[in-house]
Amino acid sequence: MEYTNLGRTGLLVSRLCLGTMNFGPKTSEDDSYAIMDRALDHGLNFFDTANVYGWKTGEGVTEQIIGRWLAQGGGRRDKVVLATKVYGKMGEWPNEQGLSARHIIRACDDSLRRLQTDWIDLFQMHHVSRTTPWEEIWQAMEILVAQGKVRYVGSSNFAGWHLVAAQESAARRHFLGLVSEQCIYNLLTRFVELEVVPAAIEYGIGIIPWSPLHGGLLSGALRKQREGTGARSAEGRSSQDLEAHREAIEAYEKLAAELGHDPADVALAWLLSRPGVTAPIVGPRTIEQLDSSLRALELKLDGQALARLDELFPPVGKGGPGPEAWAW
């Protein structure tokens, strides 16, 4: 397993992050345990979850599953860099969501209880709050860090200017601020290259891409359709995007075959080659899916392959960061 620093911190995390969103809704508790054990066997130490995962309001189903797994002992908690999130709706009353100081502190305590741990390594804001001042957010996070309940703070789904505002506010308080940004980033969705990635690099914030395979669309969706095994890529957004990008997907799967690699491995390897990326999130439903995702760590795409991928899935505008991407 390869490891890298999480942003500008001294914390070492695996180059792939284990996403747990399927634990509960799509993967049984026993199978979830097996996947997490296998992840540790591979040396994969970075686990990501959220208090809303499990999709039963207020229950934190996925966090509870992880907590019961951690409670088995065997050094599990010390081996894992554990990340969870706050923001989503956890009850029917007004203050049971968002990023008020009240909700941040309450949500942290609730996550700690469900996860059966004394600390959260990375406490991430699941979305930006447009109504809560940064002074309030950082005051709450400072309390949690001082209490030893949180080690680092991250963001998710922030715009580039939100990262700047957050870090400048934290700097005025002599607080470390954000160390990571979790955002949608893949060959088909490259908007973050305009401003999010440049801002993150400037401030030493590690990028943690979610949906690296675009809901399965980049994992050989057309081939799986022909084989009758493409259930996930036939759902919702993936199904719509498949029709919109069918020609590019066909060429992409042909390119992967020419390279001698699975399309999913190519998509992950591309992300691993991108500036500022710490660890793409893989969300396996089975041990076999987890095992196969590690092949991407051994795949190094050459300049010709990277150029061909840019042709198939062009960056936004002229490519690269703004304003050069849209201006002279």
What pLDDT digit, counting tens, does each position of 8-61 carry?
999 999 999 999 999 999 999 999 999 999 999 999 999 999 999 998 999 999
State the angle between helix axes of 246-259 and 303-312 in degrees (0 to 180), rounded to the nearest 10.
170
The CATH number covering residue 158 comes to 3.20.20.100
78 falls within a domain: yes
Q: Are 111 and 51 in contact (CB under 8 A)?
A: yes
Domain extent for 126: 3-219+265-310
Tokens for 218? 């980049």
pLDDT of residue 228: 80
240 falls within a domain: no
pLDDT of residue 239: 75
For the question of residue 53 being annotated catalytic, the response is yes
pLDDT of residue 236: 58
Question: What is d(CA 269, CA 275) in angstroms, rounded to the nearest whole number?
Answer: 12
244 falls within a domain: no
Q: Which residues of the chain fall below pLDDT 70? A: 230-237
Burial class of residue 126, CB neighbours in 10 A (0-12, 13-18, 19+): buried
pLDDT of residue 229: 73
Question: What is d(CA 165, CA 211) in angstroms, rounded to the nearest whole number?
Answer: 26
Q: Are 280 and 271 in contact (CB under 8 A)?
A: yes
111 falls within a domain: yes
Please tell me which residue in 53, 87, 203, 252 is annotated as part of the active site.
53
Question: What is d(CA 143, CA 113) in angstroms, rounded to the nearest whole number?
Answer: 18
Alpha-carbon dihedral of residues 43, 45, 51, 55, nearest 10 degrees? -20
Q: Are 156 and 180 in contact (CB under 8 A)?
A: no
pLDDT of residue 58: 92
Where does the chain have alpha helices with state H?
A: 29-42, 61-70, 76-79, 101-115, 134-146, 160-172, 196-203, 221-227, 236-244, 246-259, 263-272, 287-293, 303-312
180-218 confidence digits (pLDDT tens) = 999 999 999 999 999 999 999 999 999 999 999 999 999
Q: What are the φ and ψ backbone dihedral angles of 34, each rounded to 5 degrees?
A: -65, -40
Question: What is d(CA 112, CA 53) in angstroms, rounded to the nearest whole number?
Answer: 15
State the angle between helix axes of 61-70 and 101-115 in degrees (0 to 180), rounded to the nearest 10.
50
Report the number of distinct structural domains present in the chain: 1
Q: Are 50 and 62 in contact (CB under 8 A)?
A: yes
Model-level pTM greater than 0.85?
A: yes
Q: Which residues pair with 182 in a beta bridge?
A: 156, 208
pLDDT of residue 233: 53
